[in-house]
Amino acid sequence: MIPNMEFVGLTGLALMVGVSALCIVGGYQAYFWPQNSPLRECRTGKVGRLDHLVKFTPEWVWIYSLLYYPFMLTPVLWIDNPSEFIWVCTSYFALLAAHVLISQLVPMKTPDEWRQYDKDKNVSTRFLAFIQSIDKGGNCFPSMHVAVATLTALHLTSYTGGESFVVISLVWLSVAAISLSAVFTKQHFVSDIVWGKIFALVVYFSFTALLPLELFEGWFV
């Protein structure tokens, strides 16, 4: 059963999903801005010891994309009023704005050789190559995939109040899977994953402290 169905109804849920999808599409225009119009020269990050231990496994691309986007939308299943929806959306835009700023000040990419593989080997490599043809790199620090997944998990943990062990476990296992996919596809350094989580934590707790939900309540009848 969908947690908020009795409050928002099917139409309300569909509307929130649709608006969220539009926000994601619009957000990507800002996300790609540092790649398309960099203010500083992009540099290649340092390959660490753990990066050398991670074997390129393109099959993880399906987790990287097909789990990531549905997971990003899951908060709408718990949101039960428009004010809360606007508040949650604003938190994601705050994360995006901060990431764009970091990417313009510290533009970083993975080594070019990480993208040199047989792109026609199988469907996984073809799909990964397609993603990389759109996301050309230059803003890999910190990992936005991991940051968004972590922010989503923090919202979901707050909604459930930690009451459902199964739900919370699935939520954070999803974050772990998305994090692993980012390194196994060689889209990110291991350090990007660590900083992505720290980045999300800083943004979430700063946002909830400076712009608590109470400030948004009453905006809509």
| Model confidence at 208: pLDDT above 50 | yes
Task: Please tell me the distance from the alpha carbon of residue 94 to that of residue 127, in angstroms, as a whole number.
Answer: 30
Lowest mean pLDDT among 45-59, 114-128, 154-168: 154-168
- Note the pLDDT of residue 102: 97
Reported confidence tier of residue 217, pLDDT bands at 50, 70, 90: confident
Q: What is the pLDDT of residues 43-75, one digit of tens each?
A: 999 999 999 999 999 999 999 999 999 999 999
Give the pLDDT mean for 13-32. 90
| Helix axes of 165-184 and 144-160: crossing angle, nearest 10 degrees | 180
- Note the pLDDT of residue 1: 46
What phi, psi does 43 have (nearest 5°)? -120, 160
- Note the pLDDT of residue 164: 80
Give the pLDDT mean for 129-144. 93
Specify the pTM.
0.92
The 3-class SS string of the chain reads CCCCHHHHHHHHHHHHHHHHHHHHHHHHHHHCHHHHCCCCCCEECCCCHHHHHCCCCHHHHHHHHHHHHHHHHHHHHCCCCHHHHHHHHHHHHHHHHHHHHHHHHCCEECCHHHHCCCCCCCHHHHHHHHHHHHCCCEECCCCHHHHHHHHHHHHHHHHHCCCCHHHHHHHHHHHHHHHHHHHHCCCCCHHHHHHHHHHHHHHHHHHHHHCCHHHCCCCCC
Q: What is the pLDDT of residues 78-88, one digit of tens each?
A: 888 888 899 99
